[in-house]
Every structure is written in structure tokens, then in C-alpha cells.
Amino acid sequence: MIRYRCDKCGCSMTADDPRRFIVKMEIYAAAAPLEFHESDLVKDHTEEINSLVEQLSNANPDEIEDQTYRALRFDLCRECQRKLLNKPLG
């Protein structure tokens, strides 16, 4: 039998435990819609792209992901689920 632990308090639960809740979170950058103009299409972006590639090749992949998108998943017991619902941002 698969056992789960509450990611908050550590109590033990089974896969079909009615006290077990799954929390999924997505955190992503709130970027404005992109706007393109005709001048953007004729401009040479080679230097800009090369600079960006250079920056990314030296960056930590986890830090890059944290700046754009991160998906998290937690198992919670009923008590910790209720505490989260009452105060989602801690």
C-alpha cells in the first residue's frame, strides 16, 4: 500500500485516505501582451539574440525557471488543508 505524508505536518496517510488533499500551485510571470510593429520586423536582432544566448548559457536553469514558471504539488492532511484555505499566503 502506498503511504503519503502530509507535506506540512508530516502525518501519515494512504492513497485513498479521505483526509488526504492534493494542492497544485502554478507561479508564472505576469507579462503584458507582446506588441510588434513593422520596424521590429526589419530590425536586425542578431546582436540582441547573441547577448541573450550568452546570458542564458551562464545562468542557473533553476533560477531561469523560477523567473518564468514553476509548478508545485503538495499532499496535505485535512487539518493542514483547512489552515491553507484560511490563510493561503501564510
Nearer to Zn ion, 9 or 22 (CB): 9
d(CA 44, CA 65): 28
> 54 to each of 29, 47, 63, 77, 83, how far by Cα in Å?
22, 11, 15, 45, 45
Residues between 28 and 87 with contacts to Zn ion, criterion CB under 5 A: 77, 80
As given in the structure block, the three cell numbers for residue 40 are: 521590429
What mask, x for binding Zn ion by CB under 5 A, covers residues 2 to 21? Answer: ----x-xx------------
Cβ of residue 67: shortest distance to Zn ion, in angstroms? 30
Chain contacts with Zn ion (rule: CB under 5 A):
6, 8-9, 77, 80
